[in-house]
A and B are shown apart, each in its own frame.
Chain A
Amino acid sequence: MNAETGIGASVLRKEDARFITGKGQYTDDISVFGQTHCVFVRSPHARAKINSINTDAAMAVDGVIRVFTGGELVEDGIGDLPCGWVVTSKDGTPMVAPPHPPIATSVVNYVGEPYAFVVAETLQAARDGAEAVEADFEILEAVVDTATASSSTQIHENAPSNQAYDWELGDKEATDAAFAAADHVTTLDITNNRLIPNAIEPRAALGSYDAASSTYTLYTTSQNPHVERVVLALFVNVAPEANLRVISPDVGGGFGSKIFVYAEETAVIWASAKVGRPIKWRADRTESFLADAHGRDHVTKAELALSSEGEMLGLRVKTIANMGAYLSTFSSSVPTYLYGTLMAGQYKTPAIYVETQAVFTNTAPVDAYRGAGRPEATYVVERIVETAARELNMDPVELRRKNFIPPDAFPYQTPVALEYDTGNYAASMGKALEIADHDSYAARKAASEGNGKLRGRGYSCYIEACGIAPSQLVISLGAGVGLFESAEVRVDVSGSVTVMTGSHSHGQGHETTFAQLVSDRLGIPFDSVNVIHGDTGRSDYGLGTYGSRSIAVGGSAIDRALDKIIAKGKKIAAHMFETTDDQVEFAEGQFSYAGSNEPKPFAEIAGAAYIPAVYPLDELEPGLSEKAFYDPQNFTYPAGSYVCEVEIDPSTGVTEIQKFVAVDDFGNVINPMIVEGQVHGGLAQGIGQALLEHGIYDADGNLSTGSYMDYAMPRAADLPDFEVDMTSTPCTHNPLGVKGCGEAGAIGSPAAVMNAITDALGVKDVPMPATPHTVWETIQQGA
């Protein structure tokens, strides 16, 4: 392999060439002939009955072409926005999914829910038109609070107690028995604050209809264009799947929020046929705050049973998860199968029982946001483990070490359904402590105290589950989609290669990482590999990018397609060598045969494949192009140890992170530079959750944090330099030994920060985000 561009090399990114020169093509950068502009009219009320909508004044605005209301979509057969995973409650009943029309018809259930939209010649005219739409609302009592939602006014007719489902996982009796036998029980009541994802590129859509061919083309900011296409075709009934092309060009960050199928692109693509012209929409930032799916928002009671020596015996978790007003595309899976299943963490806790009650409120829908359930699980486990250590007067590091699943115990079946394939948790912990100068902490603490500051240290040892799979298991648990990934490797006549992947890059650098993988295996130059993604018209059906799945599932699919390319190449080479394909070896870009001293370079075989002179065409088809669909046998299980040290100024409550160490085990790594970058970004979002970010609704359901003036995004000066390193136990069940790295930072970091803050303050809990005001108040209460 080429040490500069092969697997394991920090190759600089191909895609940067366009991004650093302003040549990226994001959805809003694309304009087409005759395009119109669209603005959505959004509910100013958290909950209201729509008595009537008057569009006459809007239609009279100069430049307005059409004003649409929800009823027109219903009349045209447009269906509800579906939730793709049916979770079953304890009592065996399926979850309650309230009707979710893309454009509200008779009721609105959160501030920002669209109930009409205006199409106009210019954006300004569309805005003026939207201002002129008049609606008569009957305002109803709104439900906002997560903890009390189930005892509040009923929002949806089919959802008594505002409950979507009441789910459980684990052995309740065994867990109760563990608690009965315990020497010590630690309890913790914690919340996981609502976050608003805030990819810097706002969502956008450009839909057009070609009447001559009855085909639709939708450019949109999607992490998974094929899923968008199938939902719009099969559930929303916009058009037959074959007549709908979805293109996700360059996408400016997703973090989960661009997985889902939203009202806006649905309306734009549908209306493009009604108007007979292309329609473009781009969210204002305030619309992003109001109408992008939010993340987290849990209220949890957790209990940990331990022996007097600190052996973890049982864990009981009861969570109320706020789903918002409707069930967004994959929302139901987040506080259940991506949450309860992670409660074993890195520990051999023998008995675990988790209950999740999902409730509706009159707030924006909540769905997957970076980590999606796993940050919430890690927050529960790592906060309660640290709390237990303090209560038992044990070193929190020692308590963890005592309970780690040991390296020789893999594969390890947890009591909450998952089977971990591999790991070495003590190794990550040891490396993290070394980097963090663990042993010299006392001197740093004394120095802080000398300066009138409070110093604290916290740990977090997270487990993640990436590349959700296998399809048949997940479908049996209620998922409505497969969880494989597709790849097509097209070898050109000259030996260069085009890869079509069903994964989608919105910052992850797939054009580079996947090219490294291909160039390494085929022994061809890195620059002769071109990776194509994000277009249903060009690549085969794929599931897109979320859940840190792209390398583990998408990369493995490419690897499988490469197996087929090499196998066919051997057959062609065998004819050239006048031998059989089992006698042909392939390595370092050369096909070779022991009976010949003239190996055939890959490009020569590619040429021979397309200029089929040397092999019999009744035995072997011409060409060299192969596809693979890879369905994993299991999740992958990245894990790591994070250490955070904070210094708090008691006079202001300001927390400064003075040290943040992250040691992750992602198995094999293709491009360490890109992987470290993924960790940095995840850490920033996790630290943002711990210190700054909070999506807040007032009692009437108005979003108080609806702009960057109100929602505290982490800025450069809010964050420390990160100390990032890795250990590796390769995944045992995929061909690359890879695990996935996209979410780890956001999963592991909140607990590390909050463990450090509670350590510094000497308190059991501080609610996230630990803003200066919250910290200062905590100090005052203790004083």
Chain B
Amino acid sequence: MKVDLTVNGSQHTVDVADNALLSDVLRETLGLTGTHVGCDTSQCGACTVHLDGRSVKACTVLAGQADGGDVTTIEGIANGDDLHPMQVAFRANHALQCGFCTPGMIMSAIDLVQTADSPLSAEEVREGLEGNFCRCTGYHNIVKAVLDAQANM
């Protein structure tokens, strides 16, 4: 099937199998390997991207479901060399180690902050990141980073 997607501002028409996942299209067809796949049960969140402005787990969205959609991946959130405040905060707070969960974590965290009605507490950040696993950091510095970025978004 043919699927039209806008990915990080660029328009693509891709010819994919009916059962192709959005994560497959991003990684295999478009070469955007920053979106990682860490599980097969929609639990780890490493594949999180934004679809029409909201975070989704790209391993759980069929490419066909995203037809006509606007997708943003980790590769698309910086403005040239000007990093997104969440990217800056993750580095400044040592909120990543192996880096594998990081793209999904950053994409979830951006959505979490953007959709909050009022500034998030540390506890709310912890609850809000329940869909993303990190095995390296113990989340301690991720929480700090999200609170830090929140002040600059």
A contact residues vs B (CB 8 Å cutoff): 12-13, 15-26, 28-29, 31, 124, 198-202, 250-253, 255, 282, 284-286, 506-509, 673-674, 676-678, 680-685, 707-709, 713-717, 719, 721-722, 745
- Known contacts A252-B36, A680-B140, A708-B39; decide if A21 and B135 are in contact (CB<8 Å): no
Main SS of the interface on chain B? loop
Write out, one digit per residue, whether chain B residues 97-109 have a CB within 8 A of any chain A CB (1) or not (0).
1111111001000
Q: Which A-chain residue is minimally distant from B88 (CB atoms)?
A: A20
Residues of A within 8 A of B150 (CB): none
Residues of B within 8 A of A707 (CB): 39-41, 43
Does B25 reach chain A (CB closer than 8 Å)? no
* Min CB–CB distance B30 → chain A (angstroms): 12
Does the CB pair B41–A508 fall under 8 Å? Answer: no
Does the CB pair B143–A24 fall under 8 Å? Answer: no
Does B55 reach chain A (CB closer than 8 Å)? no
Does B134 reach chain A (CB closer than 8 Å)? yes
Other-chain contact of A15, B38, B99, B141, B142 (Cβ < 8 Å):
B99
Q: Which B-chain residue is minimally distant from A29 (CB atoms)?
A: B33
Does the CB pair B140–A16 fall under 8 Å? Answer: no
- Known contacts A19-B102, A20-B106, A716-B126; decide if A13 and B34 are in contact (CB<8 Å): no
Does the CB pair B142–A19 fall under 8 Å? Answer: no
Does the CB pair A722–B138 fall under 8 Å? Answer: yes
A–B complex contacts, Cβ < 8 Å, 12 sampled: A19-B99, A26-B33, A200-B98, A200-B134, A201-B100, A202-B38, A253-B136, A677-B137, A678-B97, A713-B133, A719-B139, A721-B122
* Min CB–CB distance A753 → chain B (angstroms): 14
- Known contacts A684-B138, A721-B140; decide if A21 and B40 are in contact (CB<8 Å): no
Report the Cα distance A25→B36, complex, angstroms.
Answer: 11
Does the CB pair B135–A716 fall under 8 Å? Answer: no
* Min CB–CB distance B141 → chain A (angstroms): 6
Does B17 reach chain A (CB closer than 8 Å)? yes
Does the CB pair B43–A708 fall under 8 Å? Answer: yes
Report the Cα distance A200→B43, complex, angstroms.
Answer: 11
* Min CB–CB distance B42 → chain A (angstroms): 9
Residues of B within 8 A of A21 (CB): 34, 74-75, 78, 83, 87
- Known contacts A22-B73, A509-B97, A716-B129; decide if A285 and B38 are in contact (CB<8 Å): yes
Report the Cα distance A507→B99, complex, angstroms.
Answer: 7
- Known contacts A673-B94, A715-B130, A716-B129; decide if A684 and B139 are in contact (CB<8 Å): yes
Does the CB pair A12–B74 fall under 8 Å? Answer: no
Report the Cα distance A507→B132, complex, angstroms.
Answer: 17
Residues of B within 8 A of A17 (CB): 91
B contact residues vs A (CB 8 Å cutoff): 17, 19, 27-28, 32-41, 43-44, 46, 73-75, 78, 83, 87, 90-92, 94, 96-103, 106, 122-123, 125-127, 129-130, 132-143
Q: Which B-chain residue is minimally distant from A25 (CB atoms)?
A: B33
Residues of B within 8 A of A13 (CB): 91, 94
Report the Cα distance A198→B83, complex, angstroms.
Answer: 30
Does the CB pair A716–B139 fall under 8 Å? Answer: yes
Q: Which A-chain residue is minimally distant from B128 (CB atoms)?
A: A716
Other-chain contact of B130, A286, A684, A716 (Cβ < 8 Å):
A716
Q: Which are the 6 A-B pairs with shortest beta-carbon distances?
A: A22-B34, A252-B100, A19-B99, A684-B138, A507-B98, A708-B43
Does the CB pair A717–B90 fall under 8 Å? Answer: no
Does the CB pair A681–B138 fall under 8 Å? Answer: yes
- Known contacts A255-B135, A708-B43, A713-B133; decide if A24 and B99 are in contact (CB<8 Å): yes
Report the Cα distance A681→B101, complex, angstroms.
Answer: 14
Does the CB pair A16–B137 fall under 8 Å? Answer: no
Does the CB pair B17–A124 fall under 8 Å? Answer: yes
* Min CB–CB distance A571 → chain B (angstroms): 41
Residues of B within 8 A of A709 (CB): 41, 43
Does the CB pair A22–B129 fall under 8 Å? Answer: no
Q: Which A-chain residue is minimally distant from B87 (CB atoms)?
A: A20
* Min CB–CB distance A366 → chain B (angstroms): 19
* Min CB–CB distance B92 → chain A (angstroms): 7
Does the CB pair B92–A12 fall under 8 Å? Answer: yes
Does the CB pair B140–A685 fall under 8 Å? Answer: no
- Known contacts A12-B92, A12-B94; decide if A23 and B138 are in contact (CB<8 Å): no
Report the Cα distance A199→B43, complex, angstroms.
Answer: 14
Report the Cα distance A29→B32, complex, angstroms.
Answer: 9
Does the CB pair A284–B40 fall under 8 Å? Answer: yes
* Min CB–CB distance A169 → chain B (angstroms): 32
Report the Cα distance A556→B94, complex, angstroms.
Answer: 25
Does the CB pair B135–A20 fall under 8 Å? Answer: no
Report the Cα distance A13→B137, complex, angstroms.
Answer: 14
Does the CB pair B90–A199 fall under 8 Å? Answer: no
Does the CB pair A285–B100 fall under 8 Å? Answer: no
* Min CB–CB distance A711 → chain B (angstroms): 10
Other-chain contact of B98, A20, A251, A680 (Cβ < 8 Å):
A251
* Min CB–CB distance A63 → chain B (angstroms): 12
Residues of B within 8 A of A685 (CB): 135, 138
Known A21-B34, A673-B94, A680-B140; 6 more pairs at CB < 8 Å: A12-B91, A16-B99, A20-B106, A252-B101, A509-B97, A709-B43
Other-chain contact of B94, A31, A677, A722 (Cβ < 8 Å):
A677
Residues of A within 8 A of B142 (CB): 716
Does the CB pair B102–A201 fall under 8 Å? Answer: no
Does the CB pair A716–B98 fall under 8 Å? Answer: no
Other-chain contact of A715, B90, B97, B133 (Cβ < 8 Å):
B133
* Min CB–CB distance B26 → chain A (angstroms): 10
Does the CB pair B99–A250 fall under 8 Å? Answer: yes
- Known contacts A16-B91, A250-B99; decide if A719 and B43 are in contact (CB<8 Å): no
Does the CB pair A200–B38 fall under 8 Å? Answer: yes
Residues of B within 8 A of A715 (CB): 129-130, 133, 139
* Min CB–CB distance B65 → chain A (angstroms): 18
Residue among A15, A713, A716, A719 with the most chain B CB within 10 A? A716
Report the Cα distance A746→B100, complex, angstroms.
Answer: 21
Does the CB pair B133–A200 fall under 8 Å? Answer: yes
Residues of B within 8 A of A199 (CB): 98, 100, 135
Does the CB pair B98–A717 fall under 8 Å? Answer: no
Report the Cα distance A263→B141, complex, angstroms.
Answer: 36
Report the Cα distance A506→B97, complex, angstroms.
Answer: 8
* Min CB–CB distance A276 → chain B (angstroms): 22
Report the Cα distance A202→B46, complex, angstroms.
Answer: 11
Does the CB pair B137–A681 fall under 8 Å? Answer: yes
Q: Which A-chain residue is minimally distant from B96 (CB atoms)?
A: A19
Report the Cα distance A722→B17, complex, angstroms.
Answer: 47
